[in-house]
Amino acid sequence: MPALLEVDQLKIDARKDDGSLVPIVKGVSFSVESGEVVALIGESGSGKTTIALSALGYIKPGFEFTGGEVRLTGQDVIAMTPAQKRQFRGQRVAYLAQSAAATFNPAFTIGAQVTESAVLHGQMSQEAASQRAESLYRALELPDPERLGSRYPHQVSGGQLQRLMAAMALCGRPELLVLDEPTTALDVTTQIEVLKAFKALIRQEGSAAIYVTHDLSVVAQIADHIVVLYAGEIQEYGTAEQVINRPGHDYTRRLIAAVRPPPAAGQGDDLSREHQRDVPALMVKNITAGYGKRSRGTPEVKVLRDVNVSIERGQTVGVIGESGCGKSTLARVMSGLLPASEGDVLLDGESLQPDLRKRSRVELQKMQFVFQMADTALNPRQRIDHILGRPLEFYLGLKGKEKRQRVDELLHIVELPQEFAARYPEELSGGQKQRVNLARALAASPEVLLCDEIISALDSIVGANVIELLKRLRKQTGVSFVFISHDLSTVASFADEIVVLYAGRVVEQGRTDRVLSPPYHPYTRLLIASVPKLRVGWLEETMETQEAKAGIDRVVKLTETGCPFFNRCPLKIEGTCDREFPPVRNLGEGHTIACHRSEDELKC
Amino acid sequence: MLVRDDKTGATTPFEELPDAPPRRRLKLSWSGKLGTCVVAFWMAIIFIGPTIAPYHEADILDEALFIEPGSNQLYPETDFQGPSMVAYLGTDFIGRDTLSRTLWGARTTIGISLVATVLAYLVGMTLGIAAAVGRGILDMTLSRVNDALLSIPSIMLGLVVIAAIGSTIPILIVLTGLIYAASVFRIARALGQDVMVSDFVEAARVRGEGLWWIITREILPNVATPLATDFGLRFVYVILFISSLSFLGLGVQPPMAEWGSMVKENLAGLPYGSIAPLVPALAIATLTISINLIVDDISAHSGGNLAKRMI
């Protein structure tokens, strides 16, 4: 009896413009048994998605199958005619893309889209398919399964949409699921919710799955077997338990080393006193800001409420929270891109104009913004030397030879070869672009760097390298960092201080080790508990904790009264927490928690 | 449990990722190459057309040319003559050489269209980008005026204006330029708005750059390719528009040769099997189709996004 899917010496090449072939996948073999989850793990460019797509007999334009076979129950899918491929795709093998938001058509109801493939293939009647969809909604623990099908994609949350995508794929009872990084773009709390639902459903349906990801911790939770890929070749192939606990290959060990340690007490760097002065490098006082029309100075949608943060010279303040909590807005307020409606931004103890257009060039120079997506933050029509040269010219008045020299130095600082000066951004890889992005901010010789999720879009090894680079820069230059991320592990490994934002309010702030050790704010506890650990079986344990039960799979509510975290809090006090705004408890050394519960109650 | 070595301080050597693909250069497909050849041919004709043309565009061929000297043949009708050694592509409705008129007409047709398109671009792009960058009242005013202009059918607008102030070549150019500036405005504004919200423009704003820098260094280079593609298409529309006006008798005035008016003048010849209306029609067709073939290649090069943004 052959395995469900056998990939046998698969070779895939890309055809270049001049007609020559570049090998992308170099003879990869593995197999997937029924009911088994096989994870393909590797960095971008390792060929993992290309291999996964070949299970559907699909190949990206410009790529060619040049050898080997992909057999689904003994039948070679590569050799099939387009008509045969159409028949088995969606029916026997289903594909789940990374972004649910992009997969669902906003113009059709969820039900119509979930059942479409099964009905189209003539597997079931519309009625049977709708029933099947409803049972899947139940299995995925989606709210209101009876009426969910008649709603539209924008009416459900991101995590729910991600789970609905699984329902879409599973509706036609496929034998094999191909999941392409389905949780990569999600918040940690949403990620667990989706992972848990996927895992339960795959078990229940008995379908096999290929899980493509670059995140080892996620793989540890869901996979039976792991295939570690690098540059189109298998580096290691074994059971999840074996690959994670006893990695046999160097590359696997490097991947594991790049997984940032789970946040725990005792982390965070020591304050480097040498750069310190009396006045904080940057301080925001009682900031309230938001978007939309302003009536009497207050914006329609308040994103930040009464936020106070101070960044000492040479220090790093990590700002953490789920998407929509106002992290990026805080950085935009600091930089002046979004003028605050109330409150003050102080640079070196001096108050800045809220609008950046009214700030002086020197003030602008001292604070630099590093954008999240290096792909879009670098002008595709400018060469790297122009991108880096402009701030030198603009702020420091450097010209000609001096400028060129400084550009070379900057490239050196971010560990890029000097030849890159003559390249365009599209000729660089993601990590290289992020380095240029960083170098551009450094070119201004700033005192404060605002880093907005700068490593979120990078692979783990590349991200770890960028973090190392940031640490070195901090030591060498004494620059202060505001480091915004939704990834607590990253922040914990880098920041001296942590600010936890929830629904635009600071719920906890203080030195990193203080924030990461009890007493916690219940939300901080939830965040810490949600960071996946590189351990088989972690997911099940976590789902049993009270934080997870109370806080996962709930959406953030912006409230005018009471504690914003009320509806997700395991320690809530009915009648108090929903009515009164929580008091800010000072626990010493600048560690504050905004909660109605006392210090002792929060400790346990 | 895993043992992890303490990495603080030690910098990991930079991971050499596979090199990103080199910048793609525009490569023409065979259809694009064909298009380029045809366009190059017509461009050459603009300059040398009148020189190589056997006759002047206004010359009415003498009847004597069509009979062998000394023979006692009757003088024939010279209009709508078929191709012969005297007139290689036959004659038109009053006996002028079709080939010569087509060669002369290239200069008028393409010249007027090109100047009008450039004018449309100067006006439309300036205002469009200004609207995208300025936003607020400026954008509102310009866009509404533009909408009003677009809502009037261009041929009707042309007819009315020409009927009111007469038809000379400068009037024709300015009129066409302004009519087409309206559609250029919309595209330039949409493209400008797209680029305006991108992170690199935001980065320039955080840096404190002025409006002029943002427009000329950040926005224009990024809208240049789609606008160049659009320039090709717009040029084709302008040729057709001017030809249509001439066809209605309101464009270029006789005896000047212009392809559109040549088709119109000679339409009566079709029932006699004359090719006189077909030659200029073919000239318009080859030029416009060829430009489109090149445009297709450019837009394929810039990827699918371009096609979407053009709509």
Using one digit for the tens of pLDDT, what is the confidence trace for A241-266?
A: 888 888 888 888 888 887 766 666 54
Task: Give the model's confidence band at A549: pLDDT under 50 very low, under 70 low, under 90 confident, else very high.
Answer: low
CATH of the domain at A337: 3.40.50.300
Instruction: Check CB contact under 8 Å for B203 and A269.
Output: no
Helix (H) / strand (E) containing A238: strand A233-239
Q: Which residues pair with A32 in a beta bridge?
A: A5
Quote the mean pLDDT of chain A: 83
Counting DSSP H helices and E strands in chain A, the numbers are 24, 22
Spell out a b/e string for A552-581, using b for 16 or more CB atoms within 10 Å of the CB, else e: bbbebeeeeebbbbbbbbebbbeeebeeeb
Both structure tokens of A374: 């290096």
Does residue A585 lie in a domain region? yes
| pLDDT surpassing 50 at residue B1 | no
Q: What is the DSSP secondary-structure string of A293-312?
A: EEETTEEEEEEEEEEEEEE-
> How far apart are the C-alpha atoms of A441 and B206, rounded to whole Å?
11
Using one digit for the tens of pLDDT, what is the confidence trace for B67-92?
A: 777 777 777 777 888 888 878 888 88
Distance from CA of B311 to the nearest CA of A (A): 20
A282 and A306 inside one domain? yes
Average pLDDT over residues A543-555: 66
Instruction: Check CB contact under 8 Å for B199 and A376.
Output: yes
Q: Which of A431, A371, A445, A381 is nearest to B202 (CA)?
A: A371
Q: State whether residue B2 sits within 8 Å of chain A by CB.
A: yes
Using one digit for the tens of pLDDT, what is the confidence trace for B156-189?
A: 888 888 889 888 889 999 999 999 999 999 999 9
A164 and A135 inside one domain? yes
| pLDDT surpassing 70 at residue A334 | yes
> How far apart are the C-alpha atoms of B309 and B297, rounded to whole Å?
16
High-pLDDT (> 70) share of chain B, %: 88
| pLDDT surpassing 80 at residue A603 | no
- What's the start-to-end Cα distance of chain B, in Å? 58
Helix (H) / strand (E) containing A430: helix A430-443
Confirm if B118 and B231 have CB atoms less than 8 A apart. no
Instruction: Check CB contact under 8 Å for B221 and A381.
Output: yes
Backbone angles phi, psi at A384, to 5 degrees: -60, -40
A496 and A522 inside one domain? no
Helix (H) / strand (E) containing A574: none
High-pLDDT (> 90) share of chain B, %: 23
List CB contacts (< 8 A) between A395 and chain B. 207
Q: CA of A338: which chain B residue's CA is closest?
A: B206
Instruction: Check CB contact under 8 Å for A461 and B15.
Output: yes
Radius of gyration of chain B from its Cα atoms, rounded to whole angstroms: 27
> How far apart are the C-alpha atoms of A433 and B177, rounded to whole Å?
42
**Number of domains within chain A:** 3
Both structure tokens of A400: 């000609």
Backbone angles phi, psi at A228, to 5 degrees: -95, 120
DSSP 8-class letter at A89:
B
Structural domain B39-68+79-310, CATH architecture: Orthogonal Bundle (1.10)
pLDDT at B18: 45
List CB contacts (< 8 A) between A440 and chain B. 203
A442 and A319 inside one domain? yes
Q: What is the bridge-based pairing of β-strands A176-180 and A93-96?
A: parallel
Q: Which residues pair with A102 in a beta bridge?
A: none
Residue B167 Cα distances to B105, B109, B126, B171, B258, angstroms: 17, 15, 27, 6, 14
Does residue A264 lie in a domain region? no
A243 and A380 inside one domain? no
Residue ranges of E strands in A73-154: 75-76, 93-96
- A417 alpha-carbon distance from chain centroid: 28
| pLDDT surpassing 60 at residue A235 | yes
Does residue A267 lie in a domain region? no
Q: What is the DSSP secondary-structure string of B77-97?
A: P-TT--S-SSSTT-B-TTSBB
> How far apart are the C-alpha atoms of A569 and B45, rounded to whole Å?
80
Of A494, A516, A538, which closes a domain?
A: A516
In the sheet that holds A93-96, the strands lie side by side as: A93-96, A176-180, A208-213, A37-41, A225-230, A233-239
Domain edges within chain B: 39-68+79-310
Does residue A265 lie in a domain region? no
What residues contact B141, with CB distance under 8 A and at least 6 apart?
Answer: none
pLDDT at A260: 66
DSSP 8-class letter at A271:
P
A384 and A305 inside one domain? yes
Domain of A554, in residue numbers? 518-604
Both structure tokens of A335: 């930089």
Q: Highest mean pLDDT range out of A422-436, B24-38, B149-163?
A: B149-163
Q: State whether residue A337 sits within 8 Å of chain B by CB.
A: yes
Does residue A266 lie in a domain region? no
pLDDT at A277: 54
List CB contacts (< 8 A) between A427 and chain B. 19-23
Backbone angles phi, psi at A239, to 5 degrees: -70, 155
- A381 alpha-carbon distance from chain centroid: 28
- What's the start-to-end Cα distance of chain A, in Å? 54
Helix (H) / strand (E) containing A71: strand A63-72
Instruction: Check CB contact under 8 Å for A261 and B21.
Output: no
Both structure tokens of A568: 């997700």
> How far apart are the C-alpha atoms of A378 and A371, rounded to whole Å?
9
Q: Which of A68, A240, B13 is nearest to A228 (CA)?
A: A240
List CB contacts (< 8 A) between B8 and chain A. 269, 471
Both structure tokens of A467: 């973090």
DSSP 8-class letter at A387:
H
> How far apart are the C-alpha atoms of B221 and B205, rounded to whole Å?
17
Task: Give the model's confidence band at B25: pLDDT under 50 very low, under 70 low, under 90 confident, else very high.
Answer: low
Both structure tokens of A109: 């109801």
Complex ipTM value: 0.75
Note which residues in 214-253 of chain B have CB less than 8 A from chain A. Answer: 217-218, 221-222, 224
> How far apart are the C-alpha atoms of A59 and A49, rounded to whole Å?
10
| pLDDT surpassing 50 at residue A65 | yes
Peptide bond into A519 cis (omega under 30): yes
Amino acid, single-letter form, for residue A532: P
Using one digit for the tens of pLDDT, what is the confidence trace for B93-147?
A: 888 888 999 999 999 889 999 999 999 999 999 899 889 888 788 899 999 999 9
Both structure tokens of A508: 């906890």
Q: State whether residue A21 sits within 8 Å of chain B by CB.
A: no
> How far apart are the C-alpha atoms of A379 and A532, rounded to whole Å?
36
> How far apart are the C-alpha atoms of A239 and A245, rounded to whole Å?
10
pLDDT at B2: 33
A96 and A193 inside one domain? yes
A322 and A204 inside one domain? no
A171 and A304 inside one domain? no
Q: Which residue has the tokens 């409420």?
A: A305
- Residue of B13 and A543 predicted with greater confidence: A543
List CB contacts (< 8 A) between B202 and chain A. 337, 371, 377
A62 and A138 inside one domain? yes
Task: Give the model's confidence band at B230: pLDDT under 50 very low, under 70 low, under 90 confident, else very high.
Answer: confident
> How far apart are the C-alpha atoms of A15 and A11, rounded to whole Å?
13
Distance from CA of A427 to the nearest CA of B (A): 5
Q: How many CB atoms sit inside 10 A of residue A294's CB? A: 11
Q: State whether residue A351 sits within 8 Å of chain B by CB.
A: no
> How far apart are the C-alpha atoms of A350 and A601, rounded to whole Å?
40
Instruction: Check CB contact under 8 Å for B15 and A465.
Output: yes
Exposure of A78 by Cβ count < 10 A (0-12 exposed, 13-18 middle, 19+ buried)?
middle
Q: Where are the alpha helices (DSSP H) in chain B?
A: 30-52, 98-134, 136-151, 154-165, 169-196, 199-207, 211-213, 220-247, 259-265, 278-301, 304-310
A356 and A251 inside one domain? no
Q: Which residues pair with A5 in a beta bridge?
A: A32, A72
* Three-state secondary-structure class, residue A70: strand
Average pLDDT over residues B150-157: 88
Instruction: Check CB contact under 8 Å for A257 and B208.
Output: no
Using one digit for the tens of pLDDT, what is the confidence trace for A278-299?
A: 678 888 888 888 887 777 777 7
Both structure tokens of B137: 């009242």
pLDDT at A559: 66
Supply the pTM of this predicted model.
0.75
Q: Which residue has the tokens 């750059």?
A: B209
Both structure tokens of A175: 């034998």
DSSP 8-class letter at B17:
P
List CB contacts (< 8 A) between B221 and chain A. 379, 381-382
A524 and A476 inside one domain? no
pLDDT at A588: 75
pLDDT at B227: 85
Q: Which of B264, B259, B57, B250 is nearest to B171 (CA)?
A: B250
Does residue A110 lie in a domain region? yes
